[in-house]
Amino acid sequence: MKIPSKVYTFLIFLFLYAPIIVMIVFSFNSSNSTGLLAGFSFKWYSVLVGEKDIMQALYNTLILAISSALISTVIGTAAAVGIDKWKKNWLRSSVMGVTNIPMMNPEIVTGISMMLLFVFMGKLIGKEEILGFETILIAHVTFNLPYVILSVLPKLRQTDSFLAEAAQDLGCTPIKAFFKAVLPAISSGIVTGMIMAFTLSLDDFIISNFTTGPDFQTLPLAIFAMTKKRVKPDMYALSTFIFVSILVLLILTNVAQARGEVKKNKIAKGDA
Amino acid sequence: MKKKLSIGNKVVASPYLLWSILFIIAPMFFVVYYSFTTSSGAFTMDNITELGKFTDTFLRSIWFGVLATIICLILAYPIAYIITQTSANSQRTMVALVMLPMWMNFLIRTYSWMAILQDTGIINTFFRKIGIGTVHMINTPGAVILGMVYNFLPFMILPLYSVMSKLDKSVIEAAQDLGGNRLTIMQKIIIPLSMPGIASGLTMVFVPSVSTFYISQKLGGGSFDLIGDVIEGEFQQLYNYNLGASISLVLMILILLCMVFLNKFTSNEEGMVI
């Protein structure tokens, strides 16, 4: 790399990481200022553990992310398997068009449109306070689905369409053929979709803001409520903690993937 | 056997079809329905005629969104190109580094910018130490646009990188052989061929910028409200769902028009290349 390129790369990454560095540094600040450094301490991390609301929100967020990722993976994978076999006609293109809506629409519009649906339904069944866990779960599954479908479809296209037929010729029932032959071939796409769904759900604020009620708060919503007032460094501590967890998760999945590839290569070589 | 399979294909996709009708299409219908009714459900055009008073906000949102998108493009293009010029290993690392900040809650990242930009913040403390004095940065249009650029820059870098990394090197070599200098190659080969990446980057930055509501509240201090702030206010504070719905409807149509325009623009460009 030439020197101007190096300087430019450095500046861009400095820009991208400046607020994150600030946050990590101030999470260890011993005073409660988010502007002036006083000294090093773990104080805000211990404060954090004592905050019941935050811990409850963290728990809610994880439950929501796991369940919405699982549901959207099952529905989305089934949808991809079905759609993949459809002929290219108006039905297929309109279904794919609808699938793109949650990705192309501004998040705020997706959020309020679902809120309107829920509120209307709530009025219809005479339940005013309908917004809560069920509604936010539906919303999260909805915005996760396109990502699952779009990560599974390419994998299906890559797999041999005769794979299932071959398995059936060898005596599998259609269902067994799917689980034994097709599913292993598309598993990497399913896993990618599921991880994506999980992280999207974990981090979503805008759509959650409109589709849940006061009884079910997620972490981003708790953070939003906190930033309305003056922020104490405990929120920085929380974010640093989340940032480090995600970093570790990413590194672990990367290592696991790399190991898997090495194993695959070894097996392939052994076969040859 | 074949027939059974095709029925099976309809059946496995049916939960999704049902889901998308209920939770993607029906909500869109409700946006339209609420836009044209009063809170008691009677037909009205008032929500639409009342939109006039938000003209300034709409124009400001579009203007800020356009500026943020252009700045993102200018910043992202060189870095995406630089990344493609490095080794495969460092390409992977750098792409991961571009994506990593996105895994961090965007509220916190935006809030952290407040700590950097405010009058008692890090930059101004530094400025005062070296004798420049306080430069007022927070609660300005510049701060709002900076927040947008910061939050959505990866959405521009990633599609540009993915298009540029797939560019056929031999095309560039051929241009060099034919006597093209660096500028001509950039103009005639790299930029036209990266058009699809530019188009998707532009939409991926413009759509969230124009509809954002948190960034403008925090970094603009409430004096530069954008259309997202108005929608959020109608739903969460004023509880005027009907007016909120009509603003959202207009926002949705606006973005749709922008995308149609952008698609046209890029396909024309491709036509020009041929």
Complex ipTM, two decimals?
0.87
pLDDT digits (tens, 9 = 90+) for A42-86: 888 888 888 888 889 989 999 999 999 999 999 999 999 988 888
Interface residue of B5, B10, B22, B24 to substitute, partner A, most A CBs within 10 Å: B24
Whether the pLDDT of residue B240 is over 50: the answer is yes
Q: List pLDDT tens digits, range B146-201.
A: 999 999 999 999 999 999 988 888 888 888 888 888 888 888 888 888 888 898 89
Closest C-alpha among A36, A65, A96 to residue A220: A65
- Domain spans of chain A, in order of start: 58-229, 236-260
Beta-ladder partners of A29: A40
Distance of residue B271 Cα from the nearest chain A Cα, in angstroms: 25
Specify the pLDDT at position B266.
Answer: 62
Nearest in space to A180 (alpha carbons), one of A197, A195, A163, A192 = A163
Write out the CATH class of domain B53-273: mainly alpha
Look up residue B107 and give its amino acid. Answer: L
The domain ranges of chain B are 53-273
The CA distance from B85 to A63, in Å, is 42
Alpha helices per DSSP H over chain A: 3-27, 43-50, 52-85, 90-104, 107-124, 133-158, 163-169, 174-177, 183-203, 206-211, 219-228, 233-271
Residue among A112, A208, A226, A261 with most chain B CBs within 10 A, to mutate: A112
- In this prediction the pTM is 0.86
Of B4, B9, B109, which is closest to A85 when you measure between CB atoms?
Answer: B9
Write out chain B residues lying below 8 Å of A219, CB-based.
105
Do the chains contact at A79 and B15, CB–CB below 8 Å? yes
Most A CBs within 10 Å: which of B1, B6, B12, as the mutation test of the A interface?
A: B12
B105, B236, B244 member nearest A220 (Cβ):
B105
Centroid of chain to Cα A7: 33
A13 CB-contact burial (10 Å; exposed 0-12 / middle 13-18 / buried 19+): middle
What is the tens place of the pLDDT at every residue in B113-135?
A: 988 898 888 888 888 888 888 88
Q: Report the mean per-residue pLDDT for chain B.
A: 87
Query: Within 13 Å of residue A209, how many CA atoms lie on the same side as its CB?
Result: 26
Say yes or no for a CB contact (<8 Å) between A205 and B106: yes
- Between CA B139 and CA B247 the distance in angstroms is 25
The yes or no reply on domain A58-229 and CATH 1.10.3720.10 is: yes
The residue of chain B nearest to residue A7, with distances taken between CA atoms, is B79
- What phi and psi, each to the nearest 5 degrees, are found at residue A40? -90, 135
